Amino acid sequence: MSYNPMMNSPFLLENQTEYKKWRDNKLAQYPASKNKILVKLNNSNLNNNSINLLRDSINKYNFGIYEFNSKLTNEYLKKFCSKLKLLQSVSNLLADENDISNITNQNTERKQSSGIEYIPYTNKQLNWHTDGYYYPIDSAVKSFLLHCEHPAKIGGENILLDHEIMYIFLRDHNPDYIKILMQNDIMEIPGNKNIKGSSSIKGPVFYIDEKNFLNMRFTSRQQNIIWQKSDMIKKIKDYIFSFIAEDNYYTFNILLRENQGYIANNVLHKRKEYVDGDKKRLLKRLRFSERVE
């Protein structure tokens, strides 16, 4: 499915003036420290003021970090999301009836019962990706929340990079890179052998959605992904991989503490490996098919 983006969208290559304006404004928000972004929230008094602070941050960086004063129930978590107008949650096989996934190390139990290992549900490092990159763009994940109920003893940091920053660096380096990454058959995810009826999905890396926002589908995994083959794609991939390889001026390194979390308009992110203490690390995740506007 494709949409007709707004004529003056900064994400269209022909709109250099609009792009320049949008780009300069975006880059002017950096450097940013995560401590300044953190918004403190009160469970018993979730006022519009603090919600607006969070929204401001998401506007600038495509994510916002918050901290509640005490533990939240699943119902409260959903209510909190609805304050940000996140209403259409996206379910998955491992989510509960609230579409909440408990991200914790289930490796031993799960592997024994099914023989399949899902890296998010282990204590291993999770490489750079956007959520739901394996979905077609008409059922995309546009935002997600990750809420920490209990941190690991050691590690488990999340590293975030606004996908719009990635777009800027690619476009400034070579606008043809963007042209290629917006092609509808650039990246293919083969059907999952373990899921009956699953078929392969082709799509772009960057696309402009029906509300004129820029979205990114990306995974740095090398298996179960088929990139279009050309010298140019190889160059583009090398560029992306070197940009995200190390912490830079634009990445945020976030170690969520108890009752902290972040909400993101599906930015690029990864997770470092971790070690559990007596109590297992537990993060609650909700995904949505709309973004925070």
| Residues at the interface with Fe ion (CB under 5 A) | 131
DSSP 138: G
Asked if residues 143 and 261 have their Cβ atoms less than 8 Å apart, the reply is no
- Cβ closer to Fe ion: 55 or 271? 271
Per the DSSP assignment, residues forming a β-bridge with 13 are none
Contacts of 225 (CB under 8 A, 6+ apart): 187, 188, 189, 190, 219
Closest CA to 210 of 291, 111, 112, 108: 291
Q: How far is the CB of 113 from Fe ion (least distance, A)?
A: 23
Residue type, 167: Y
Asked if residues 203 and 217 have their Cβ atoms less than 8 Å apart, the reply is yes
Query: How far is residue 250's CA from residue 166's CA, in Å, rounded to a whole number?
Result: 9
Q: How far is the CB of 144 from Fe ion (least distance, A)?
A: 7
Tokens describing residue 237: 């991939």
- Cβ closer to Fe ion: 131 or 149? 131
DSSP 162: -
Determine the residue with CB nearest Fe ion. Answer: 131
- Cβ closer to Fe ion: 161 or 178? 161
Alpha-carbon dihedral sign for residues 240, 19, 144, 51? positive
Residue 2 three-state SS: coil
- Cβ closer to Fe ion: 92 or 248? 92
DSSP 27: H
Q: How far is the CB of 133 from Fe ion (least distance, A)?
A: 9
Q: How far is the CB of 272 from Fe ion (least distance, A)?
A: 13
Q: How far is the CB of 221 from Fe ion (least distance, A)?
A: 12
Q: How far is the CB of 291 from Fe ion (least distance, A)?
A: 15
- Cβ closer to Fe ion: 171 or 271? 271
Query: How far is residue 164's CA from residue 24's CA, in Å, rounded to a whole number?
Result: 12
- Cβ closer to Fe ion: 131 or 162? 131
Q: How far is the CB of 269 from Fe ion (least distance, A)?
A: 6
